[in-house]
Amino acid sequence: MQWNRAEVVALVVDVINFLTASNASVEAFKTANLLKGLSVNAMIYGESSTGKLTLARYILPNAPVVDGNNFDELLNALEVNSALILHRLDDVSNLKRLIEKVQQTKTRIIATGGFRYSPQQLEELFAIQFTIPPLRERAEDVAMLSTLFLEEAKKIFGKNEFVLPKDFIPDVSENGHSLRRQLYLNYLLSNASEENVLEITENYLIDKIGGNNDYRQFLHLFEVPLIRAGIKKFKSQLQLSERLGLNRNTLRKKIAEHSRYNLEIKE
């Protein structure tokens, strides 16, 4: 699914890039709008890079952001601010002390975090708790983010237009982090020269070589992409073996050797 630039701009929330394409993100944004009009503490759960901090900043646009791993800074911030964003609540070392301090200062908090602490543990501190699902459960948001990240790449690298291949599989293993990294790499490599490819391979290998069988150990870095590209282009073992100048038995052997890379080809 592809989104054009106008659709991306229309569906980006204000200027903070919290996208509302999926039902889950729409519901999260409705809750955020509710919280903008209330003076209550709220906890936003979710995996890393799902949009939690972005949504927290939307709710409290003028509040400072304090990381949970700096407990002393957090306690000081509670003393001098009427509202703040607590990022990565999971890293807070003393939850009981935090709750006591918030009750004392009456500072409003919008917190983000994973699932170290349960809703029951946090109910004394947060009147509203909700979860932003991971990107693997938000296909519409993945499609829109892909377009947005490619627009970013174009502005940063200044290269030509790039269209994702039809068989592109988004990497959402780390949600937005992995998706952005994957798309930036695809964008750059789409315009890579032979020298660029050689340089990338050289930089990858320079700290890894040093064993007694390195040539054979790293030969797959050439063979696997070559076979993959041939499978996509020629579709059959017979055609691919002819194009590569290999007999079919040798090609089958190579595919079997690299079976962990899921090289599939029609007979």
For residues 83-102, average pLDDT: 95
Number of other CB atoms surrounding residue 80 within 10 Å: 10
For residues 104-131, average pLDDT: 95
Q: Phi, psi (5° rounding) for residue 256? A: -65, -40
Q: What is the pLDDT of residues 158-177, one digit of tens each?
A: 766 777 877 789 999 999 99
Cα dist from 151 to 5, 13, 30, 145, 162, whole Å: 8, 16, 27, 10, 10
Q: What is the pLDDT of residues 96-112, one digit of tens each?
A: 999 999 999 999 999 99
Residue with tokens 């932003």: 132
The CATH number, out of the four listed (3.20.20.370, 3.40.50.720, 3.20.20.105, 3.40.50.300), of the domain defined by the range 23-136: 3.40.50.300
Q: Examine the pLDDT at 3 and tell me if it is beyond 50.
A: no
For residues 5-10, average pLDDT: 39
State residue 186's pLDDT score.
87
Q: Examine the pLDDT at 154 and tell me if it is beyond 70.
A: yes
State residue 7's pLDDT score.
41
pTM for the whole structure: 0.76
pLDDT band for 239, please (50, 70, 90 cuts): confident
For residues 198-207, average pLDDT: 90
pLDDT averaged over every residue in the chain: 87
What are the residue ranges spanned by the domains of the chain? 23-136, 207-267
Cα dist from 121 to 22, 109, 187, 206, whole Å: 30, 16, 44, 49
Cα dist from 20 to 36, 50, 152, whole Å: 17, 12, 18
Q: How does DSSP classify residue 106?
A: -
Q: Phi, psi (5° rounding) for residue 110? A: -110, 115
pLDDT band for 265, please (50, 70, 90 cuts): low
